[in-house]
Amino acid sequence: MSARLRDTLPESRSGETLDPQDWDDIRAQGHRMLDDMFDYAADIRARPVWQPIPDDVRARFRSNLPHQPSDLGEVYREFADFILPYATGNVHPGFMGWVHGGGTAVGMLAEMLAAGLNANLGGRDHIPIEVERQIVEWTRQLFNFPDGASGIFVTGTSMANLMAVLVARTAALGRSVRQRGIHDEGARLIAYTSTAAHGCISKAMDIGGFGSNALRSIAIDRTHRIDVAALRERIAEDRNAGLKPFLVVGSAGTVDIGAIDDLAALSALCREEELWFHVDGAYGALGVLSPALAPRLAGLENADSIALDFHKWGQVPYDAGFLIVRDGERHRDTFAAPAAYLRRETRGLAANSPWPCDLGPDLSRGFRALKTWFTLKTYGTEKLGAVITRTCALAAYLEARILAEPRLELLAPVQLNIVCFRYRADDADRVNGDIVIDIQESGIAAPSTTILDGELAIRAAIVNHRTDTCDIDALIAAVLDFGAQRSPADDGVVPKIEGAPPLAM
Ligand SMILES: *Cc1c(COP(=O)(O)O)cnc(C)c1O
């Protein structure tokens, strides 16, 4: 250290550390925060699901960089007044838009503990790495993968799918692709998925350097499952054209309507054709925890890799995505890279190789495993499975209510926990789009929309463990209310209703 820098050292360092001057004070503040967050979850039904952000609140987050300190209590008050009330709402049982997990108090506490340890799970020999390996082992057991399978926490399934595409690439072209690049041979690689697959698969092909045109979107049947015969034909066609099929991505729970591809048929086809079989099981893969759903996921155990999110049906707080690969060697082949400063030893802190940084693009990584470990241990898989089963039962309840209501129309078969429907009206796309926004702004519930066969659908994805029949009833009532307001019969606009009596509104 230069003398000049050293001269800046104060006599006493107590004023320079970031630790509090008074631990009793921060202890009291911390307990208050904890109590507030328990109250937030316990009384969540008293709040709107979501509310629009007032301009002055948004403007508060466009301020200048703070050079001077502020009192923690004041910063916390800002959180309580201007951040907490304007969250997405996925903690609320009325949140049904998109596939979001609800989180738990247990997960929240585990996040606090993880932050306290401030562990970096890129590698090295410390017990947090063993906790992550424990989750890898539990996930391996969950999907009946062999010994030698490997797994890693990532942000989410978008990242896990991208990594799976890269592992499949390495399996197809060999390790040397990492030095050579994909070049001409790689330019001929073709992947396959269905038209109902999540957009992140196409994005993964793009980021992976293959281009999204190298992804074939195969047609789906009425229940949104991939047409396996059409897939087989397309593979043959591509082979005849001199292309090199390498990967099939099946869906276990499509994001639109919760369809599960015929995973057994896909795995058989992939074995026959010698293709990598990856499953996007973002939320659906954890359906194996539900005895009622597990049989529908048959074939998942034959996948070469599975991407899933513990932060959706697993209710672990964000984020907790995961990738598991049947052949751990392929996984390491894709991501392990030597670096002098990451030298491995057989003892000391640099032991315990391979490290998570050998299994993905990240070096520094947080302790996502801890909240997942707490969740799995505290609740057990039977309870978590029962929650998953219940969200599907609630979807069936919503379906029944729609079928019993002549003003509503079901737009897709309910297969899992997602229900797509709409209010019958002239100009139905506009009316239903407005209804969804009206409901979101009302704070009663938060459905989202999707497009099915060119028609706009109200989409309710029931993922949150807190959701109950009263929340479903509130959604239905709100759709009918706002529907009547948006297409009033006295406007001369009479909703078209086949086989139902005219409405009194
Ligand atoms: C949510 C979801 C994704 C994306 O996962 P993230 O965790 O949001 O990155 C991909 N596929 C499906 C089917 C999903 O439901």
pLDDT of residue 27: 97
Is 496 a residue whose pLDDT tops 90? no
Prediction pTM value: 0.94
293 touches 392 (CB < 8 A): yes
Q: Positive or negative, the Cα torsion across 335, 341, 343, 345?
A: negative
Rounded to whole angstroms, how far apart are CA atoms 218 and 486?
Answer: 37
Three-point CA angle 456, 391, 137, nearest 5°: 115
Bond prior to 262 in cis (omega within 30° of 0) = no
Burial class of residue 297 (count of CB atoms within 10 Å of its CB; 0-12, 13-18, 19+) = buried
Phi and psi of 218, rounded to 5°? -85, 145
Is 504 a residue whose pLDDT tops 50? no
Beta-strand ranges (E) seen in 116-252 are 150-154, 189-194, 215-218, 244-251
Residues 6+ apart with CB under 8 A from 199: none
Residue among 162, 306, 309 to mutate when testing ligand 1 (max atoms within 8 A of CB): 309
**Is the CB of 460 within 6 Å of ligand 1?**
no
Architecture of domain 120-366: 3-Layer(aba) Sandwich (3.40)
Distance 157 CA to ligand 1 centre (A): 5
3-state DSSP call for residue 204?
helix
Q: What is the mean pLDDT of residues 144-159?
A: 98
Is 490 a residue whose pLDDT tops 60? no
Percent of the chain with pLDDT strictly greater than 70: 94
**Is the CB of 471 within 6 Å of ligand 1?**
no
Distance 62 CA to ligand 1 centre (A): 30
Residues 6+ apart with CB under 8 A from 121: 128, 129, 132, 153, 356, 365, 366, 367, 368, 369
What digits encode the pLDDT tens for the residues 173-212? 999 999 999 988 888 999 999 999 999 999 999 999 999 9
Q: Positive or negative, the Cα torsion across 360, 361, 365, 371?
A: negative
Bond prior to 93 in cis (omega within 30° of 0) = no
**Is the CB of 103 within 6 Å of ligand 1?**
no
Sort strands 408-410 and 418-423 into parallel, antiparallel or unpaired.
antiparallel
Rounded to whole angstroms, how far apart are CA atoms 294 and 292?
Answer: 6
Distance 147 CA to ligand 1 centre (A): 27
What is the DSSP secondary-structure string of 72-133? Answer: HHHHHHHIIIIIGGGS--TTSTTB-SSS-----HHHHHHHHHHHHHT--TTSSSSHHHHHHH
**Is the CB of 321 within 6 Å of ligand 1?**
yes
Residues 6+ apart with CB under 8 A from 324: 136, 139, 140, 143, 145, 149, 150, 151, 305, 306, 308
Atom of ligand 1 nearest to the CA of 200: 10
**Is the CB of 198 within 6 Å of ligand 1?**
yes
Band of residue 498 on the pLDDT scale cut at 50, 70, 90? very low
415 touches 258 (CB < 8 A): yes
**Burial per residue of 36-49, b for 16 or more beta-carbon CB atoms within 10 angstroms, e otherwise:** ebeebeeebeebbb
Q: Positive or negative, the Cα torsion across 125, 128, 132, 138?
A: positive
Rounded to whole angstroms, how far apart are CA atoms 172 and 408?
Answer: 49
Rounded to whole angstroms, how far apart are CA atoms 234 and 417?
Answer: 31
What digits encode the pLDDT tens for the residues 59-72? 999 999 999 999 99
Closest CA to 86 of 51, 116, 54, 48: 51
Residue identifier of the C-alpha nearest atom 14 of ligand 1: 282
**Is the CB of 258 within 6 Å of ligand 1?**
no
Distance 281 CA to ligand 1 centre (A): 8
Distance 160 CA to ligand 1 centre (A): 9
Is 483 a residue whose pLDDT tops 50? yes
Phi and psi of 220, rounded to 5°? -115, 160
What digits encode the pLDDT tens for the residues 413-462? 999 999 999 999 999 999 999 999 999 999 999 999 999 999 999 999 99
**Is the CB of 256 within 6 Å of ligand 1?**
no
Distances (CA, A) of 444 to 42, 458, 474, 475: 17, 15, 7, 7
Number of neighbours of residue 294 by Cβ within 10 angstroms: 13
Residue 166 region, left (φ>0) first, then alpha (ψ -120 to 50), else beta? alpha
242 half-sphere exposure, CB direction, 13 A CA radius: 3
Is 160 a residue whose pLDDT tops 90? yes
Is 497 a residue whose pLDDT tops 80? no
Is 48 a residue whose pLDDT tops 70? yes
398 touches 419 (CB < 8 A): yes
Band of residue 144 on the pLDDT scale cut at 50, 70, 90? very high
31 half-sphere exposure, CB direction, 13 A CA radius: 5
Residues 6+ apart with CB under 8 A from 481: none
**Is the CB of 424 within 6 Å of ligand 1?**
no
Mean pLDDT of the chain: 94
**Is the CB of 136 within 6 Å of ligand 1?**
no
What digits encode the pLDDT tens for the residues 260-282? 999 999 999 999 999 999 999 99
**Is the CB of 124 within 6 Å of ligand 1?**
no
Residue identifier of the C-alpha nearest atom 1 of ligand 1: 282
Is 7 a residue whose pLDDT tops 80? no
Rounded to whole angstroms, how far apart are CA atoms 170 and 177?
Answer: 7
Rounded to whole angstroms, how far apart are CA atoms 121 and 128?
Answer: 7
**Is the CB of 202 within 6 Å of ligand 1?**
no
Closest CA to 485 of 409, 425, 399, 404: 425
**Is the CB of 158 within 6 Å of ligand 1?**
yes
Residue identifier of the C-alpha nearest atom 12 of ligand 1: 282
Atom of ligand 1 nearest to the CA of 252: 13
| Cα-to-chain-centroid distance, residue 355 | 24
Is 503 a residue whose pLDDT tops 80? no
**Is the CB of 99 within 6 Å of ligand 1?**
yes
Secondary structure in 3-state letters for 441-454: HHCCCECEEEEECC
The one-letter code for the residue type at 391 is T
Band of residue 328 on the pLDDT scale cut at 50, 70, 90? very high
Band of residue 16 on the pLDDT scale cut at 50, 70, 90? confident
Distance 254 CA to ligand 1 centre (A): 9
Atom of ligand 1 nearest to the CA of 309: 7
3-state DSSP call for residue 307?
strand
Distance 86 CA to ligand 1 centre (A): 23
pLDDT of residue 11: 63
Distance 498 CA to ligand 1 centre (A): 37
Distance 201 CA to ligand 1 centre (A): 10
Distance 28 CA to ligand 1 centre (A): 39
Rounded to whole angstroms, how far apart are CA atoms 299 and 261?
Answer: 10
**Is the CB of 255 within 6 Å of ligand 1?**
yes
Distance 452 CA to ligand 1 centre (A): 19
Residue identifier of the C-alpha nearest atom 2 of ligand 1: 282
Atom of ligand 1 nearest to the CA of 159: 9
Atom of ligand 1 nearest to the CA of 198: 11
Closest CA to 192 of 266, 129, 303: 266
Distance 93 CA to ligand 1 centre (A): 20
Is 505 a residue whose pLDDT tops 50? no
